[in-house]
């Protein structure tokens, strides 16, 4: 694998993309798991299909070359994050219903617009199931820029995010704006989802966000340490998953997600 | 005056929770708050903490609206309201009492030293690096008291701190509160009137309205069903 990694530039790019994605998903995923908002992240991840479908339809129908389904994904993810965040903060008792509604509505809109879009939508299939092997230099720059942005954000705001995740009342008592920081965190999840779509795809993104962080949580009592461990596990899963997909000729996104799931089960067995 | 409530009214949707609530609490008093479930105790605490706004009447803490007086408040929630599986250490929980609301600063100066001192005061300093989730109910409650004390509050609000702890932990918490008595104003929601009788200066009963009672009055009517038998008002 190592020889192949350095002899095939596309594999080197994929490996580096996996590292960058693991940094982002390890950090953001730790908040997602600790705050128990995996379901919310799933809803945001699936809502992006609606945005991608609409943007792809506009692009093909009106021949707008610069339009990219990822732009639609970003708009849908941010809108969903704001809507779910607002419902969580103002009408907690309706939260689960709204999350489920956004989840299925996003997918429904996506399916309808894909069916209306002329031509074969291989582009959308890559976003749905991911294709890390298609990583370009500009994708790689974007992935590492996101990793750097996430790291800097967390270095500055970790104590506030931690307080909002653990005890909203205490954060509010100390003058921290729970609304502002909770929405900020959800938008960080939304942006991460959109960027990580390229690695594992919208359907499998929850695996990258939740599984490395969930395993990391069983090794430490500190959220900050959990992030470090989650990044290490993420790198391990993407590298092992990528290697397996190369040798077995399996789809890389699904193989990475399956590798993470196997490690998760092994960790559960270790704890039992 | 530490706390002054004047004809306070609050309702959720169309259901009145607190009506015409008028009472005051002097600085340094230790007040026990009791009342039936659904009587408005938690709503009153949320109003005092500034999480809710009165719909009619006024509520003042140290002469200010509750929201502006938050820096003078320490709050101990019920342990059951927190996620015990959250990855956080005891020291990190207590340092949350020193959070700095400014954009780029995490904690107020000397936060770690203050947190360690507060943990020492509640007898939990040896557990500073333990996971909060591994503590017993009584230990966790003492850590939350340390978090409330770390910013030197003028008023301490406690929401049933002995609700899910064993007898020895309950005794440790009451000893700690007895030590704090007189150093700050303490308001504690509790159902445990018998033990509270030894500690508090007065009681207030929250049952849609609020009535203040002395220890003797509560003691006198203890056997007759506090929430249903009208007490002679002071």
Would you say residue B185 lies in a domain?
yes
Asked if A175's CB is within 8 angstroms of B101's CB, the reply is: yes
CA distance A39 to chain B (A): 17
| B232: Cβ contacts below 8 Å, ≥ 6 apart | B217
CA atoms in the 13 A half-sphere facing the CB of B180? 29
Domains in chain A, number: 1
**Residue A222: which CATH number?**
1.10.3470.10
Chain A residues touching residue B96 (CB < 8 angstroms):
162-163, 166-167, 170-171, 174
Can you spell out the DSSP letters for A120-149? --HHHHHHHH--GGG--HHHHHHHHHHHHH
What span, in angstroms and rounded, lies between the C-alpha atoms of A238 and B88? 28
pLDDT value at residue A89? 82
Q: Inform me whether the pLDDT recorded for B202 exceeds 90.
A: no
User: Are B61 and B45 contacting, i.e. CB atoms less than 8 angstroms apart?
Assistant: no
- What is the maximal distance between C-alpha atoms in chain B? 57
Q: Running along chain A, 272 residues long, what does each successive block of 10 average in pLDDT?
A: 73 91 95 93 91 91 87 93 87 79 92 85 76 85 92 96 96 94 95 84 86 96 96 95 92 92 95 80
What span, in angstroms and rounded, lies between the C-alpha atoms of B189 and B35? 9
- Between A136 and B157, the higher pLDDT residue: B157
Asked if A34's CB is within 8 angstroms of B87's CB, the reply is: yes
Mean pLDDT of B182-201: 84
Asked if B130's CB is within 8 angstroms of A221's CB, the reply is: yes
pLDDT value at residue A1? 61
Helical ranges in A122-251 per DSSP H: 122-129, 137-166, 168-173, 178-200, 205-216, 223-248
Chain B residues touching residue A162 (CB < 8 angstroms):
88, 92, 96
Q: CA dihedral in degrees (A242, A246, A250, A254; nearest 10)?
A: 10
Task: Report the predicted TM-score, pTM, of the whole model to 2 decimal places.
Answer: 0.90
Q: Inform me whether the pLDDT recorded for B77 exceeds 90.
A: yes
Q: What is the pLDDT of residues B92-142, one digit of tens each?
A: 999 999 999 998 899 998 999 999 999 999 999 999 999 999 999 999 999
**Residue B215: which CATH number?**
3.40.50.300
Asked if A221's CB is within 8 angstroms of B87's CB, the reply is: yes
pLDDT value at residue B225? 56
What span, in angstroms and rounded, lies between the C-alpha atoms of A27 and A151? 8
Tokens representing B75? 């709050």
Which of B75, B87, B104 is the best substitution to test chain A (most A C-beta atoms within 10 A)? B87
Q: Inform me whether the pLDDT recorded for B87 exceeds 50.
A: yes
pLDDT value at residue B234? 46
User: Are A210 and A38 contacting, i.e. CB atoms less than 8 angstroms apart?
Assistant: yes
User: Are B171 and B15 contacting, i.e. CB atoms less than 8 angstroms apart?
Assistant: no
Domains in chain B, number: 1
Q: What is the mean pLDDT of chain B?
A: 88
Whole domain around residue B182: which residue ranges? 3-15+26-224
pLDDT value at residue B7? 92
Would you say residue B77 lies in a domain?
yes
pLDDT value at residue B227? 56
- Between B176 and A131, the higher pLDDT residue: B176
Give residue ranges of B with CB < 8 Å to any A CB.
49, 51, 70-71, 73, 75, 77, 81-83, 86-89, 92-93, 95-97, 99, 101, 104, 106-107, 129-134, 147
Mean pLDDT of B180-192: 90
Alpha carbon B30 to its chain's center: 11
Tally the residues of chain A.
Answer: 272
Would you say residue B230 lies in a domain?
no
Asked if B83's CB is within 8 angstroms of A221's CB, the reply is: no
Mean pLDDT of B82-89: 95
Whole domain around residue A239: which residue ranges? 2-271
At B60 the three-state DSSP class reads: strand
Distance between start and end Cα atoms, chain A: 34
What span, in angstroms and rounded, lies between the C-alpha atoms of A241 and A119? 32
Q: Which candidate, A233, A258, A202, places its Cα nearest to that of A27?
A: A233
Mean pLDDT of B204-208: 85
Tokens representing A261? 């799931």
Would you say residue B231 lies in a domain?
no
Asked if B106's CB is within 8 angstroms of A158's CB, the reply is: yes
pLDDT value at residue B221? 60
Interface confidence, given as ipTM, is: 0.87
CA atoms in the 13 A half-sphere facing the CB of A185? 34
Tokens representing A252? 């890389």
Q: Which candidate, A169, A193, A181, A153, places its Cα nearest to that of A40?
A: A193
CA atoms in the 13 A half-sphere facing the CB of A76? 29
């Amino acid at each position: 694998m190592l020889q192949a990694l350095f002899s095939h530039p596309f594999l080197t790019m994929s490996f580096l993309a996996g590292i960058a994605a693991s940094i982002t998903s390890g950090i953001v995923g730790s908040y997602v798991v600790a705050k128990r908002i995996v379901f919310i992240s799933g809803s945001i991840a699936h809502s992006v299909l609606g945005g991608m479908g609409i943007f792809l339809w506009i692009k093909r129908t009106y021949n707008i070359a610069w339009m990219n389904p990822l732009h639609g994904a970003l708009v849908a993810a941010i809108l969903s994050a704001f809507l779910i965040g607002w419902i969580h903060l103002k009408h907690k008792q309706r939260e689960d219903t709204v999350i489920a509604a956004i989840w299925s509505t996003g997918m429904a809109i996506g399916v309808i617009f894909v069916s209306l879009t002329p031509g074969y939508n291989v582009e959308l299939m890559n976003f749905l199931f991911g294709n890390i092997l298609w990583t370009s230099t500009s994708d790689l720059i974007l992935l590492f820029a996101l990793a750097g942005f996430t790291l800097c954000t967390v270095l500055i705001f970790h104590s506030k995010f931690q307080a909002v995740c653990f005890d909203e009342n205490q954060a509010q008592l100390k003058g921290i704006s729970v609304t502002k920081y909770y929405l900020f965190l959800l938008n960080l999840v939304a942006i991460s989802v959109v960027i990580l779509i390229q690695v594992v795809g919208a359907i499998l993104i929850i695996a990258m966000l939740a599984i490395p962080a969930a395993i990391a949580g069983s090794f430490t009592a500190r959220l900050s340490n959990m992030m470090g461990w989650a990044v290490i596990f993420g790198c391990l899963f993407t590298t092992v998953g990528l290697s397996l997909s190369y040798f077995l000729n399996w789809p890389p996104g699904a193989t990475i997600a399956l590798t993470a799931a196997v490690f998760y089960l092994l960790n559960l067995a270790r704890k039992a | 005056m530490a706390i002054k409530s004047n004809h306070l009214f609050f309702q959720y949707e169309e259901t009145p929770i607190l009506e015409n609530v008028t009472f005051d609490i002097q600085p340094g008093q230790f007040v026990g708050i009791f009342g039936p479930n659904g009587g408005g105790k938690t709503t009153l605490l949320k109003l005092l903490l500034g999480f809710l706004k009165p719909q009619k009447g006024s509520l003042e803490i140290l002469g200010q609206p509750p929201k502006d007086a938050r820096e003078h408040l320490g709050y101990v929630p019920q342990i059951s309201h927190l996620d015990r599986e959250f990855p956080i250490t005891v020291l990190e929980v207590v340092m949350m009492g020193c959070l700095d609301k400014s954009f780029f600063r995490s904690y107020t100066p000397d936060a770690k030293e203050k947190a360690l001192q507060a943990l020492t005061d509640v007898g939990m300093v040896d557990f500073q690096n333990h996971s909060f989730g591994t503590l017993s109910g009584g230990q966790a409650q003492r850590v939350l008291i340390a978090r409330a004390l770390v910013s030197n509050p003028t008023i301490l609000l406690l929401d049933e701190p002995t609700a899910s702890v064993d007898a020895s932990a309950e005794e440790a918490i009451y000893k700690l509160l007895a030590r704090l008595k007189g150093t700050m104003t303490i308001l504690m929601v509790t159902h445990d009137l018998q033990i509270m009788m030894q500690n508090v200066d007065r009681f207030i009963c929250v049952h849609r309205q609020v009535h203040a009672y002395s220890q003797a009055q509560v003691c006198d009517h203890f056997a007759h069903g506090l929430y249903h038998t009208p007490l002679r008002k002071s």
